[in-house]
Structure 1
Amino acid sequence: MSYSKAHKSQSKERILASATELFCRYGFEKVSIGKIMKLARMTHGAFYAHFESKEALFNASILETFKRSRVARLAKGPFAVRHLTSLITDYLNLLAVKEQSTPGPETLLFNEIGSERIEIRKLYEQAYQHMKSVLEKRITALARLNKLPFAADQNTISEKSRAIIASMIGAVSIARSITDEQEQQQILLAGQNQILAILGVETADADWVIGS
């Protein structure tokens, strides 16, 4: 039985959407092809009609979500400190991280820390460089508009962007690894305060809403 191009395209999208949700929630290693196809409500054998391997699907999932990620929202948003801090706060919200089903490639920075797979490490670096580049552009623009209390020096901007990403990823990764909810909140708040200090922004000028 042959299927139309439209049917094949829809089937591929179902697999991609299911894989993206599972990779976001559990990471590459804990997601099997069987789990993906079960969520997509398709047979295991149908997988190979669309993707040659789980690695190929993971790559497609990450590339597909670049354009609709929160980093993309940051790139397109207004030049305002509140916009920058509110979007960064998304990453410090454990509930949002757990429940999002259409993540951007920056999810790699949470789920795939320390992966030994070459393919995953390449994607990890790509996600990191993409996030860093967007942050640098936004922080540079805000500094030039005198909305941040430091000069738009490239070395300074790059260092601050690295520190912000390290604070975000570190805080979320640690908080997700412990069960004490009160301590989770304290870790996330510590990450929040560290990022505010890096930007030289007062709490009243930010827009932080930390969830648990």
Structure 2
Amino acid sequence: MPYTPAHKSQSRERILAAAVDLFCRFGFDQISIAQVMKQANMTHGAFYAHFKSKSSLYALAIKQGAACSLWIKEQHKISNIEHFTVLIDAYLSLAHVQQIDAPCPLAFLVTDVAHRNDAVRDSYQQTFQAMLTGMSKQLEKLGLEHSDSLALQIITRLVGTVSIARTLSDQALQLYLLENSRRDLHKLLSPDCAPA
């Protein structure tokens, strides 16, 4: 008896959730389809009913991971600069660096994606552009001028800081980096420091 469309959709979501988790922790090369399917509690053969290849899964996992990331899930709640800085603080936290919170693939996969095919890089670029556009609109709603430039500065600082912090083995240095980036972004968002 064939599976229902709802069952197929749920299975696909389980595979994507497993892929996001594993790819963000270990990267593309270190993870096999079999490992993804094992984490999803499904057989290896079921993979091809949902995805054409590991690369196609990876490209979709980037978008899925971004949609589930802390930033995307919480950005609609921002009603003032204080809320915005709280979200910055959560993104630039040790918990996020250590993947205790939902990881953002923009930061967690930045170096891994550079070595992938065009479809994967396009997926990353679309995710980056969506985050940039969303943040720019949010900053504009908050009354900040030059929201496009400001959003670009914030995103590159967020992604860069988390990416570097993940490579460091010294937790004190990680905390120092995170603290300095949080402070600098708070200053950037203060009314007297708006970009020109």
TM-score, scaled relative to structure 1:
0.77
For the pair 1:160 / 2:158, whether they are aligned, the reply is no
Following superposition, the deviation at residue 183 of structure 1 comes to 0.7
1:15, 1:37 within 8 Å by CA — same for their partners in 2? yes
- Aligned equivalents of 1:77, 1:7: Cα separation in 2: 32
Following superposition, the deviation at residue 130 of structure 1 comes to 1.2
Change (3 A) 1:102 1:172: closer
Greater relative contact order, per chain length (Cα 8 Å cut-off, separation 6+): 1
Following superposition, the deviation at residue 67 of structure 1 comes to 4.8
Change (3 A) 1:168 1:102: closer
2:107 is aligned, of 106, 109, 114, to 109
Moved more, 12-21 or 166-175: 12-21
For the pair 1:46 / 2:36, whether they are aligned, the reply is no
Following superposition, the deviation at residue 79 of structure 1 comes to 1.8
Q: Between the two proteins, what is the percent identity of the paired residues? A: 37
1:109, 1:128 within 8 Å by CA — same for their partners in 2? no
**Amino acid in the other structure paired with 1:42:** M
- Please list every run of 5 or more consecutive structure 2 residues that lacks an aligned counterpart in the other structure: none
Q: Could you give the per-residue CA deviations for residues 96-136 of structure 1, whole angstroms, max 9, x where no partner exists?
A: 34335755xx4233313361322221122112111111111
Change (3 A) 1:100 1:31: farther
Matches of residues 97-176 of structure 1 in structure 2 within 5 Å?
97-100=97-100, 103=103, 106-113=104-111, 115-117=114-116, 118-143=118-143, 152=145, 156-176=146-166
1:66, 1:72 within 8 Å by CA — same for their partners in 2? yes
Report the aligned-residue RMSD: 2.5
Q: Could you give the per-residue CA deviations for residues 126-155 of structure 1, whole angstroms, max 9, x where no partner exists?
A: 121111111111211212xxxxxxx62xxx
- Aligned equivalents of 1:92, 1:65: Cα separation in 2: 17
- Aligned equivalents of 1:34, 1:70: Cα separation in 2: 28
Following superposition, the deviation at residue 184 of structure 1 comes to 0.7
Change (3 A) 1:70 1:80: same
For the pair 1:4 / 2:7, whether they are aligned, the reply is no
2:18, 2:39 within 8 Å by CA — same for their partners in 1? yes
Moved more, 3-12 or 156-165: 3-12
* Matching residue of 1:182: 172
Q: How many residues align?
A: 189
- Please list every run of 5 or more consecutive structure 1 residues that lacks an aligned counterpart in the other structure: 144-150, 203-212
Q: Could you give the per-residue CA deviations for residues 60-119 of structure 1, whole angstroms, max 9, x where no partner exists?
A: 33444555443433442142112111112222123234335755xx42333133613222
For the pair 1:58 / 2:62, whether they are aligned, the reply is no
Following superposition, the deviation at residue 55 of structure 1 comes to 1.9
1:59, 1:123 within 8 Å by CA — same for their partners in 2? yes
- Aligned equivalents of 1:136, 1:9: Cα separation in 2: 33
- Aligned equivalents of 1:140, 1:78: Cα separation in 2: 12
- Aligned equivalents of 1:142, 1:11: Cα separation in 2: 40
Moved more, 86-95 or 106-115: 106-115
